[in-house]
Structure 1
Amino acid sequence: MMIHRRLDTLGWRMTLYSLAAIGCAAAIVFAGYVGARMLLWFHPPLPEPALYISIIRWCVNNIGFGPVMIICFIPLYVLFLHRFSRPLLRQMRQLSNGMSMVADGNTSHRLPVSSGDELGRLSSQLNHMLDQLNQAMNEERTALQSQNHLITGVSHDLRTPLTSIIGFLGYVESDRYRDEIELRHYVHIAYEKSLTMQKLLEDLLDYTRITYHAQPLQSTSLNLVQLLEQLAEECVPMLEQAGMEYRLTSTDSLIRVSGNGDELVRLFENLFSNAVRYGSCGYWLDIQLQQHHDQVIIRCINYGQPIPPEELPYLFDRFYRADAARSSYSNGSGLGLAIVKSIAERHHGSVSVQSNAAQTCFEVILPAS
């Protein structure tokens, strides 16, 4: 294998082509020499010999066999060398044409790799470079589309509460209210809408910071059981307001993961608030933990209305909200579950959802530490 690799180079190919051309040219010249000798041997001197015999004798007497053989050898060598080098020349033309097409902007073109020598490796490296260039261009195009969608989504979601705020403050500014009770009502609505805008902006900042890695992940070893117990207790007022209770079960009292505590808290806060928002009619919020080999599996289960199957693939998209029946529970920002997905992936984990008539289960998988 090593010898084959050393021989499979451009220099060795040209050497072999030259040796083959020399051998073929020498064989033909030698055959011509033997043939000329035999012709002279079998044709004794005559007063009027054949024309080709006269030409041979003149060349031998005036030039000599050696110079004639050299004169014949040179064009034969060039002819055979050109013939044997055709695959190499064809490969060079293909490489040149391909590079011209790439220079003209055709990055989808791929150069043929027909050998393992320097030209073949150059073609392979250029193809790899084109693949990386196309990947970078696709990522840039995707990032630009994502940025445009983000701007469009933010603009759309900010416009509705902002329009309400401007409208009700316009009533106050122009004294278009009957009494102080109506004035307070208008101010209260404007205040509630401003809180909605504040929540949306906070979610948006968190999403961009987490998704685009504005800050490097600072990980520590965390006892996830203790973290979720504390977080669930902090959510008790929200659960009581919705008429719910939580049940936390774990296969072990100590399950450790490596991650950023603040971000993991945000992840499970979003899952808990989502479960309360859409599962209050089911009474229970079940939080289940288990460690399976090198993975930690956390399930957040509510027993509210099921999510339609056609909506499940889009739940973790930015600004996606479920159907009107489920969305009527809250005017969410549409970023909560997108933040959950970003945090999970930032911690080298994943999140998924399953929903049926009995329950809706969000499953987070994180690497164990």
Structure 2
Amino acid sequence: MSRQDELGSVAHNINHMAEQLQQQLEKERQIEQSKMELITYVSHDLRTPLTSIIGYLDLLKTPKCQNEAERARFINNAYNKTQQLKKLIDDLFEYTRLTDGDIRLSFQEVDYHNLVKQIISEFEPVANEQQITILQDISPMPLLVHMDIEKMVRAIDNLLMNALKFSIRPGEIKVHLTAHVQEEQVILSIENVGKPISLEQEHQLFERFYKTEPFRYEYNTPTGSGLGLSIAKHIVELHGGRIWLEHDEGHYKFYMEIKKIHPL
């Protein structure tokens, strides 16, 4: 090899090393920025219900608070805020566990058909209180699916709660469960009608901490952490599946596909 070729090879290697170093620095910068965003969002979301709780407790401590009905209302409001705070903390804990790269799933063989029906039966009273009817179209064929039950229940709950928060009242949430045995796939879809969003908002829905306002606040639906759909996405992908949205002028249909199914 000529001296010129050797110099060219050295220069190429130096450039390659410089590019790798630049990529590593950019990755570290993004990680640091991500950490700062996490702290900022969490601090804001935790501060809001905590401030309300402190406010209600201060009111309860004042001598002027003598009316029992008023005291009961303050206690109930404070309790609701503590539940919201707990949900925020639970979501944050779950999100960090799912994204730390060392999560271990506990897979079991589960009848997906019965699991979905059970989740819906537990969800219906909450929906009925907010004038939402649950319509089911679930394949009658039992399906044995390998899944982490606890995490998959969390994912489905998050999709149902998302549909509830953003539905027009009175309204309906339609749940479909279909199987494609030949392709070893089962697809769960949850659809509702709500306020239309932009294409840009569609692309951001599964990002962490992304939130849009519930359709109507008078139904006392909390805004949540903005982690629900992101958590659902991580859970489904950990199961080797995928999750996506089809949206058309306020008609939302979320799909959750899981592979490796077997007929009983």
Same fold by TM-score, threshold 0.5 exceeded?
yes
CA distance in 1, matches of 2:51, 2:126: 29
Partner residue in 2 for 1:238: 126
Aligned to 1:248, the other structure's residue is in SS state: strand
2:241 touches 2:257 (CA, 8 Å); kept in 1? yes
CA distance in 2, matches of 1:255, 1:362: 20
In the alignment, structure 1 segments of 5+ residues that lack a partner are 1-84, 109-129
CA distance in 2, matches of 1:339, 1:328: 27
Establish whether residue 273 from structure 1 lines up as the match of residue 161 from structure 2: yes
**Residues 238 and 325 (structure 1 numbering): CA distance in 2 closer, same or farther, change over 3 Å?**
closer
Moved more, 264-273 or 133-142: 133-142
Aligned to 2:195, the other structure's residue is in SS state: coil
CA shift at 1:275, angstroms?
Answer: 1.6
CA distance in 2, matches of 1:213, 1:366: 21
Aligned-partner residue type, residue 235 of structure 1: F
Partner residue in 2 for 1:221: 109
The one of the two structures with greater contact order (alpha-carbon pairs below 8 A, sep at least 6) is 2
CA shift at 1:277, angstroms?
Answer: 2.2
CA shift at 1:151, angstroms?
Answer: 1.3
Aligned to 2:18, the other structure's residue is in SS state: coil
Partner residue in 2 for 1:368: 260
Structure of higher CA gyration radius: 1
Establish whether residue 294 from structure 1 lines up as the match of residue 180 from structure 2: no
CA distance in 2, matches of 1:360, 1:236: 19
CA distance in 2, matches of 1:253, 1:297: 13
State the identity as a percent.
31
Aligned-partner residue type, residue 265 of structure 1: V
Identify, as 1 or 2, the structure richer in strand. Answer: 2
TM-score, length-normalised on structure 1?
0.62
**Residues 135 and 249 (structure 1 numbering): CA distance in 2 closer, same or farther, change over 3 Å?**
farther
Q: Of 89, 100, 105, which residue of structure 1 is paired with 2:3?
A: 89
1:242 touches 1:280 (CA, 8 Å); kept in 2? no
5 Å-filtered alignment, 1:346-357, equals 346-357=238-249
- Give the root-mean-square deviation of aligned CA atoms: 2.7
**Residues 346 and 137 (structure 1 numbering): CA distance in 2 closer, same or farther, change over 3 Å?**
farther
Deviations 1:124-158 (A, max 9, x none): xxxxxx4xx66555444333322222111110101
2:186 touches 2:259 (CA, 8 Å); kept in 1? yes
CA shift at 1:201, angstroms?
Answer: 0.4
5 Å-filtered alignment, 1:297-336, equals 297-323=187-213, 325=215, 330-331=221-222, 332-336=224-228
TM-score, length-normalised on structure 2?
0.84
In the alignment, structure 2 segments of 5+ residues that lack a partner are none
> Number of residues paired by the alignment?
257
**Residues 141 and 358 (structure 1 numbering): CA distance in 2 closer, same or farther, change over 3 Å?**
closer
Deviations 1:59-80 (A, max 9, x none): xxxxxxxxxxxxxxxxxxxxxx
Aligned to 2:137, the other structure's residue is in SS state: strand
CA distance in 2, matches of 1:248, 1:341: 22
CA shift at 1:205, angstroms?
Answer: 0.9
